[in-house]
Structures are given as C-alpha cells and as structure tokens.
Amino acid sequence: MKKITILLPAYNEASSIGLLQVKMLQVAAMNPGYDWEFLIVNDGSTDNTLQKIKELHNTDRRFSYLDLSRNYGKEIAMMAGFDYATGDAVIIMDSDMQHPISSIPEMIKYWEEGYQDVYAQRKSSKESWFKRKTSQLYYNLLQNSTRIPIQKNTGDFRLLDRVCINALRNMRETQRNTKGMYCWIGFRKKGIEYEQLERANGTTKWHFWSLVNLALDGLTAYTTSPLRIASILGILCSLIGFIYLVYILINTLLHGDPVAGYPTIMVTILFIGGVQLLSLGIIGEYLGRVFNESKHRPPYFVNTYNDTQIGESLK
C-alpha cells in the first residue's frame, strides 16, 4: 500500500490540536486505500502543543511528531518535515485546519494520474482588500522579474510526490522561500481550487512586518533582478549627470559663470545620494544572505522524533 504523509507545521497551536485530530482521522477513514502518517512538526511552541501531540502519538501511531529545538519559522519547520516524512507523497497543511480536507481526494486522484505536484489555489480570499492588493502587486512584480512561472494565489497547501520531496531535500539553503522552490524544481504540476476556511482556534502568527520580511526574502531568494535595477539606475543617473555636465560647461563658456545654482546642486546631491543608498541597500540585502548561507550551519536542530532523542539536524 502506498503511504501518504500529511505534514503539519505547528507553532502555538495547542487549541487546534483537537480539531486536527478529528480531521486527520476523517482523512484516514475517507481514503482507506492508503497508509497514513500525520507528521506534526512542533516549531518551538511556548504553549502545550508538544504535550498534546505527544499524547496523540501515544494513542495512535499514525501520528508522529518532530520537536524542533526552538521556533525556526514555518519555512524551516516544513524543511524539517521533508527530511523526516516517510510517505510516497507528502501533503502539506496548516495545523490550524484552514485548509479543507475535502480537497485531499482530488489531490490524490491527480497524483495517481501521474502529477507530481498538485497545488491548491485559493478560490476566494477572505483577506482584507489591502492584503489582497499588495499580494497581487507582489506576485506581478515577482513574475515580471523571472522566467520561472509563479503560481498565483497558491500557498503551501499541496501534494508533493516523493521525487519533489527528494528534490526539495537537496536544497539546503536556510533562508527559504519554499513557494519559489516548488516552481523552481519543476516536475509535472496540476492546480486545483479550494476555499480557504476561517481559523477556528488560536491566532495568526503573521503580522505586517513578518509579511514584509517574507516578501523581501522571497524577492531576494528568487531573483537577482533588484541588483540589475540598481545597475540600470546607476547608468541612468550617470547619463543624466553627464548630459547636465555638458550643458553647464557650454552654458558657462557662452554666458560666463554667475555663481548661482544652489537649488540644482542640492537637488542633484539629494537625488544621487538617495540612489546610492538604495543601491547599497539592495547590495546589502544580497550580501546578508550570502553571509548567512556561507556559515553553512545546520538549518535546524531536533529535540525529539517520536520519543527518540535526536539532538541533530537529520535522522
């Protein structure tokens, strides 16, 4: 029998674990043709999430758990999940159960037809107008800066075949934008639609700044085109500067030098200064990533895997 792992990263989701258990048992009951593994990755929760998932594991061995040494963020929690998942396919879901389990049979159907990455697209977003518009703008920006097709309205809710998991496991960068990676690795993809549910318990872990950070990380992880923009800005400014230089030179030769032009000098200095700072900032963004990646640290450490002490990154 083929085995499917449902990967559930969880950070302070103690209030959701009850619902999670109910839903996962439903999944197993609805799809009896498969072995099921429900792998919950405890991403350094400060509430009693760990205790609850330990209890789950002790009552039903299909629930396994991975306890990370601290909170690493969802991207790294998923990476750890990829390393420890044992299924022939992995379905990634949020532990708050905002992703409907009713999409799972459809995912499996396409997987059996040979698709290796069945991703779920949000049909209608219940997010605020501002959040929707900014995410749309961001997607367009990202898509225009790269040749790899980017999936719109798509998150981590998807079924990945073992080949995709193995591919992703080879990508060990620590500053991760997994959404970009799914696109980057390729393989046969199929989109299905789903309706995002409201969060039933607990609160969201994403706030404005974490979203801004995620967006910037995504951009720098995905494309080097901001560096190109910095170069183009530099060329443009030099060009404008040179033309202005010629103009001043000719003007001075023809009409003498009346010593005016304080406004033009100020404007030029401020403008060039701004462009320089912006370009430095862009370079800095990439340099920071290079610095972090060049340390080659293990991306995460594991406390325990199914009651076994690990203390390392991999099995």
How far is the C-alpha of 307 from the C-alpha of 242, rounded, in Å? Answer: 69
Among 37, 43, 83, 96, binds Mg ion (CB under 5 A): 96
Residue 164 amino acid letter:
C
Choose among Mg ion, ligand UDP, none what residue 226 binds, the Cβ cut-off being 5 to 8 Å by kind.
none
Dump strand ranges (E) for 104-164.
117-122, 154-161
Assess 46 for contact with ligand UDP (CB under 6 A): no
Among 73, 81, 180, 218, binds ligand UDP (CB under 6 A): 73
Residue with tokens 């969802």: 74
DSSP string, 241-275: HHHHHHHHHHHHHHH------HHHHHHHHHHHHHH
Closer CB to Mg ion, 112 or 127, in the complex: 127
Residues 6+ apart with CB under 8 A from 158: 91, 92, 107, 117, 118, 119, 120, 182
For the four alpha carbons of 238, 243, 249 and 252, in that order, the dihedral sign comes to: negative
Closer CB to ligand UDP, 10 or 89, in the complex: 10
Assess 101 for contact with ligand UDP (CB under 6 A): no
Binding mask 256-285 for ligand UDP (x = CB under 6 A): ------------------------------
Assess 125 for contact with Mg ion (CB under 5 A): no
Kindly determine how many residues on this chain lie close enough to bind ligand UDP according to the rule CB under 6 A: 16
Assess 313 for contact with Mg ion (CB under 5 A): no
Tokens, residue 116: 């290796």
Cβ pair 41, 68 in contact under 8 A: yes
Closer CB to ligand UDP, 28 or 40, in the complex: 40
Closer CB to ligand UDP, 62 or 205, in the complex: 205
Binding site for ligand UDP (CB under 6 A): 9-11, 13, 43, 71, 73-74, 77, 94-96, 98, 204-206
